[in-house]
């Protein structure tokens, strides 16, 4: 495997995302490590590449010159690795994945493990964000591949492959009286306090659409709490009288004993997850192998499916 200059990738990612914090998240590094890599590159070149402009990061004149070539250099690294892999039959390089929280937590670890058994020279980094943010990271080329739910995210600029279906269900704390009821109507649910995800979350978009399609405006929901992750939503539900809509996938495994799926009379809400990638990626061979591993992994099965 060719050894890429991690400093150049750090520099390119900071400029692309406009922040050391976002770059650190995308690269799965600490902010201190990213800052060190950029500083090391500046020291070697003997010039400053970045300058702060208020809360934003700007380029110096020499930084602008290097940035024009940085993406080309990184792409050539990947293209060379791909060509060598085709010739030798080996697989190397790095792969950066953006994924929503439920996929990243409950499915990707096993799928990545299975992929790495066959391709030990490929390093894999995962950035966890909501669907909207993953699409942004992919557009900015901060990740090579995304796994997201549809929702309101614009996907026309990507190669999109339908991948996996998951059911969204209403949950309440097991002690909640609603858990003993059968065939609850949506109108009955509206009498409860809702705990929901943040704006930009695919789960929230789909929940709002679910109610809207059944003639219920989102403003009719009494929202008590807004949370930034599925785990936070579940914890809040377990310790309150509130209810929420979550991925059935997230209810598998330990830690969910205090939660119960509500029996609702309407049809279940099934959402699709998609594999999304850029149309002109140089990492096509690595991506193809990883996507194949995803499709054959037994990680992507909802509880009860």
Q: Identify the pLDDT of residue 86.
A: 67
Nearest CA to 280 out of 134, 157, 162 is that of 157
pTM over 0.85: no
Q: Tell me the pairing of strands 222-227 and 193-197.
A: parallel
Q: Are 140 and 254 in contact (CB under 8 A)?
A: no
Domain with residues 1-89, CATH architecture = Orthogonal Bundle (1.10)
Residues 231-251: tens digit of each pLDDT: 999 999 999 999 999 988 888
User: Cα angle at 177 between 172 and 179, to 5 degrees?
Assistant: 50
Provide long-range contacts, Cβ within 8 A and 24+ apart, for 5-8: 5/41, 6/37, 7/37, 7/38, 7/40, 7/41, 7/44, 8/41, 8/70, 8/73, 8/74
265, 168, 303, 179: CA torsion to nearest 10: -50
Q: Identify the pLDDT of residue 282.
A: 58
What is the residue extent of each domain of the chain?
A: 1-89, 167-271
Q: Are 278 and 234 in contact (CB under 8 A)?
A: no
Q: Identify the pLDDT of residue 147.
A: 92
Q: Identify the pLDDT of residue 17.
A: 81
Name the stretches of the chain with pLDDT < 70: 1-4, 82, 85-92, 150-152, 280-284, 298-305
Q: Identify the pLDDT of residue 289.
A: 82
Domain with residues 167-271, CATH architecture = 3-Layer(aba) Sandwich (3.40)
Show the tokens assigned to 50: 């970045």
């Amino acid at each position: 495997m060719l050894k890429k200059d991690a400093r150049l990738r750090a520099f390119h990612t900071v400029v692309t995302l406009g922040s050391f914090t976002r770059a650190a998240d995308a690269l799965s590094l600490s902010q201190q490590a990213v800052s060190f890599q950029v500083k090391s590159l500046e020291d070697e070149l003997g010039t400053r590449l970045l300058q702060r402009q208020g809360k934003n990061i700007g380029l110096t004149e020499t930084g602008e010159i290097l940035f024009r070539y940085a993406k080309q250099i990184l792409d050539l690294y990947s293209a060379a690795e791909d060509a060598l892999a085709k010739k030798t039959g080996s697989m190397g390089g790095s792969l950066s994945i953006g994924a929503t929280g439920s996929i990243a937590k409950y499915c990707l670890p096993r799928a990545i493990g299975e992929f790495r058994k066959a391709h030990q020279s490929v390093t894999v980094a995962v950035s966890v964000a909501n669907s909207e943010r993953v699409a942004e990271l992919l557009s900015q080329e901060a990740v090579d591949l995304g796994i997201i739910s549809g929702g309101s995210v614009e996907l026309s600029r990507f190669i999109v492959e339908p991948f996996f279906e998951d059911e969204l269900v209403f949950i309440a704390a097991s002690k909640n009286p609603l858990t003993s009821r059968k065939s609850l109507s949506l109108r009955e649910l509206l009498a409860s306090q809702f705990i929901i995800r943040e704006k930009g979350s695919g789960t929230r978009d789909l929940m709002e659409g679910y109610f809207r399609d059944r003639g219920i405006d989102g403003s009719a929901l009494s929202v008590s709490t807004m949370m930034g992750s599925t785990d936070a939503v579940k914890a809040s539900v377990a310790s309150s009288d509130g209810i929420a809509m979550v991925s059935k996938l997230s209810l598998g495994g330990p830690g969910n004993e205090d939660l119960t799926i509500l029996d609702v009379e309407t049809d279940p809400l099934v959402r699709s997850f998609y594999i999304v990638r850029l149309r002109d990626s140089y990492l096509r061979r690595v991506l193809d192998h990883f996507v194949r591993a995803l499709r054959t992994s037994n990680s992507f099965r909802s509880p009860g499916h």
